[in-house]
């Protein structure tokens, strides 16, 4: 309520201006921390997607090699 009065033009003491300045600084710091946390989360998600994609690629390669090995061994003549 007092902040609205100050914004509307009411006189404010030095202590109140100090409090307002401190609150604005803290708000800016908290905003920056939230942005940094969001960036870290996004980087971590991208990293996990890359790991999952590479895991699927390796599993697919192993299955292809197993299929190739089995098809070669089953179609070759024992003599």
Per-residue pLDDT reduced to its tens digit, 29-40: 999 999 999 999
What pLDDT sits at residue 20? Answer: 86
For the chain, the C-alpha Rg in angstroms (whole number) is: 32
Residues of the chain with pLDDT under 70: 77-79
Q: Are 6 and 20 in contact (CB under 8 A)?
A: yes
Give one DSSP letter per residue of 28-75, joined into a string: HHHHHHHHHHHHHHHHHHHHHHHHHHHHHHHHHHHHHHHHHHHHHHHH
- What is the structure's pLDDT at 29? 97
pTM exceeding the 0.75 threshold for the entire prediction: no
**Per-residue pLDDT, 77:** 65
Distance linking the first and last C-alpha atoms of the chain: 96
Q: Which residues are CB-neighbours of 6 under 8 A, at least 6 positions away?
A: 12, 16, 20
């Amino acid at each position: 309520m007092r902040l609205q009065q100050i914004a509307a033009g009411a006189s404010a003491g030095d202590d109140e201006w100090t409090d307002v300045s401190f609150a604005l600084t803290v708000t800016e710091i908290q905003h920056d921390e939230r942005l940094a946390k969001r960036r870290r989360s996004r980087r971590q998600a991208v990293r996990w997607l890359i790991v999952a994609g590479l895991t699927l690629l390796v599993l697919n390669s192993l299955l292809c090699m197993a299929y190739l090995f089995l098809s070669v061994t089953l179609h070759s003549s024992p003599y």
